[in-house]
A and B are shown apart, each in its own frame.
Chain A
């Protein structure tokens, strides 16, 4: 409790937020992070391990942990759970065949006690692709309404390719975390 409160205090001073990006491989996590940071997204290799991106957003400093989603490295996700303020779950809305996998992995993640306080943003990515499911349909497939009532969550349709929806999602996430941790000023 002692250490935790010290860390909280330090974070409050620096207005830092720790955000964990997870989701199946090929869902576009790295592309989202680079796009929102205004970087080149044309050459992105599948993430082997993780990337950390620190960026200033409003008056907050976001530490975004973008963790690779390949099946063989999903078991390492749990190493990044500690101290997570916001969870971003990225869905490839055009990958209909693997939505079951997607639901399974998300359900598993939400059982994790260390993430129980984190705000959840679900990005229904690749909305620019014609056959992509809408955010509503994704929410239905993932059965998000059945989530624990204490969880703060929202689903936002986006395209990391065009950048559409990314700010809307992050705005919500940052505001939600801020209202929980820092009490908006």
Chain B
């Protein structure tokens, strides 16, 4: 730096220095060129030589890819990794030379590289068994029978329908009958009414939960249910029910007289009508009070139709006109 300030005046020194610098630079350049050729540096500045190198590596990669497919190796991992490395070397080669290559060559080389990668991927999936992604839908299903023979099968050897053994209490598969049941105390019980036709059912007293399915032309009178009632497939019936929750699925032309803590719901139903609870038997007041169902919530009229999510009234249900409602039923 101080040289600079010193030598402004003397042209001679400047020139000398300049010559020295040129000399030094050219030496450096020479040195660089020689190391380049020695270590096969991939900068050629000649499209032709680039293409030759490129094609050679490409062919060698392709041949090792076919080889690995033909000769199944016990441990294909190292080979695959080697190929993958040579592909990325090739990619680097293109990148380093891209500044002088014609755009067409760059594009076609990159295309070749992406093709090679794809081939490598498909070869990899062929040669190596897939591991990580085998947990998708289908294989899981296939594995199902496998872990089934478990040590705990000594009591019930894989009894899939074991739960039908202890069937819930209830009335099932009956026609033209009057069915009565009285619950005493506060039974924490479920009860089932299923496959009934032309029946009259009277359930007195408090109990916990009621399942009703496939009933036709029945009259069903039920005391307070402290849990929920689920009704599926009812046609031409009359229900008098008190419960915390009432769900009605697939009901047709059926009338409901309800006392309900929450909003009753209907789903896939049509022609169903709703009115207030109309039931009495000796001691029903106490039962209703103890089940927290004595207070009239008016919810029997607040029906949610899950298939009619609009502000206007659903065409599937209506409120029973007062003139058409039944009188208090004594059971």
Contact = CB atoms under 8 A, between A and B. Distances in A.
Interface string A120-149: 000000101111110001001101011110
Interface in A137-164: 137, 140-141, 143, 145-148, 150, 161
Contact of B144 (A26, A129, A133, A146): A146
Given A26-B245, A48-B265, A141-B160, A129 B167 contact: no
A131 B160 contact: no
B247 A46 contact: yes
Contacts of A43: 244, 261-262
Interface residues of A, number: 37
B189 interface: yes
What is the interface residue range for chain B against chain A?
A: 35 or more
A99 interface: yes
A73 interface: yes
A111 B227 CA distance: 32
A95 B187 CA distance: 17
A149 to B, nearest CB: 8
A71 B249 contact: yes
Contacts of B230: 25-26, 95
A46 B263 contact: yes
B213 interface: yes
B292 to A, nearest CB: 6
Contact of B137 (A73, A111, A126): A111
A131 B166 contact: yes
B189 A141 contact: no
Given A42-B292, A148-B140, A131 B168 contact: yes
Contact of A46 (B148, B163, B265, B292): B265
A94 interface: yes
A126 to B, nearest CB: 8
Contacts of B267: 70-72
A43 B136 CA distance: 41
Given A42-B261, A146-B147, A130 B163 contact: no
Nearest to A143: B144
A116 interface: yes
B129 interface: no
B304 A71 contact: no
Given A42-B261, A140-B162, 11 more contacts: A45-B262, A45-B263, A70-B267, A71-B267, A94-B190, A126-B227, A137-B163, A140-B159, A145-B148, A148-B140, A148-B143
Interface of B: 135-137, 140, 143-144, 146-148, 150, 159-160, 162-164, 166-169, 187-190, 192, 194, 208-209, 211, 213, 227-228, 230, 244-245, 247, 249, 261-263, 265, 267-268, 292, 304, 306-307, 309
